[in-house]
Chains A and B, each alone.
Chain A
Amino acid sequence: EVQLQESGPGLVKPSQSLSLTCSVTGYSITSNYWGWIRKFPGNKMEWMGYISYSGSTSYNPSLKSRISITRDTSKNQFFLQLNSVTTEDTATYYCARSSGYYDASFAYWGQGTLVTVSS
C-alpha cells in the first residue's frame, strides 16, 4: 500500500526558505507523478507543482521564481523548497501521488504538515 509522509520545520521566518520532505513507502517514485499541494487558512487549496517519474518538473506559474521540487530516488523521497517566504505562505502542505500516468487526479495523499511563517 502506498503511503506518503511529509516532514519538515513547522515554523519558518519571513524571507527564509521553506523545505519539506515527502517520504514514500510501498511505491517507487520513479513511477507516476508526485506533487505538492497546499491549503491555506480559510480553506483555499493551491496546486504548487509536481515531479514526474523521469524527474521532470512542472510548477504553478505563480510560484515559479520561488519553487523547486527535487527527489532522491535512493531514499524514495521528494522535496519541496520554497524561497523568500512571507506570512502568505502559511498553510498546511500536502504531498500527493497522481492516480496514473494519464490520470491527473490525486488518489494518494500524505497527512499534511502545517507550516507557519512568522518572525
Chain B
Amino acid sequence: NIVLTQSPATLSVTPGESVSLSCRASQSISTSIHWYQQKSNESPRLLIKYASQSISGIPSRFSGSGSGTDFTLSINRVESEDFSIYYCQQSYSSLFTFGSGTKLEIK
C-alpha cells in the first residue's frame, strides 16, 4: 500500500497568513495526488487534482505543487471559511489511499 503522511497534524494560523500543508508518499507517485477540504458535518470538496490542476469554482488562493513523493497544498492569505481539515489522496496505485489529514485551526 502507498502510505501518505500529512504534516503537520494541526496548524494554527491567523486569518490573512499564508500556509503550506505537506503530503509525503511512501513511494514515487508521479503527480497522482489530489487535495480535499472537509468542513465539519460536510462531505469532502475537491480542491486540487493531479498535484497542481485547479478545479472550477475553487478560489484561486488554493494551489498545489510537487511530484514524486513530496506534495504541497498552499493557501494564500487564509480566510475564515478555510478553517477545516485537509486530506490528500493518491490514485497512482489501484488501491487508493488517503492521508491522515491536517487540521487548519484559528490561532
Contact = CB atoms under 8 A, between A and B. Distances in A.
20 contacts: A43-B85, A43-B100, A44-B98, A45-B89, A45-B101, A46-B98, A47-B89, A47-B96, A47-B97, A58-B94, A60-B95, A99-B46, A99-B49, A103-B49, A103-B50, A104-B91, A105-B89, A106-B36, A106-B44, A109-B43
Interface of A: 43-47, 58, 60-61, 94, 99, 103-107, 109-112
Q: A44, A94, A105 — which one has the most chain B CB atoms within 10 A of its CB?
A: A105
Contacts of A43: 85, 100-101
Contacts of B62: none
B43 A104 contact: no
Interface of B: 32, 34, 36, 42-46, 49-50, 55, 85, 87, 89, 91, 94-98, 100-101
B44 A47 contact: no
Contacts of A111: 42-43
Nearest to A110: B43
A105 B43 contact: no
Contact of A47 (B32, B42, B98): B98
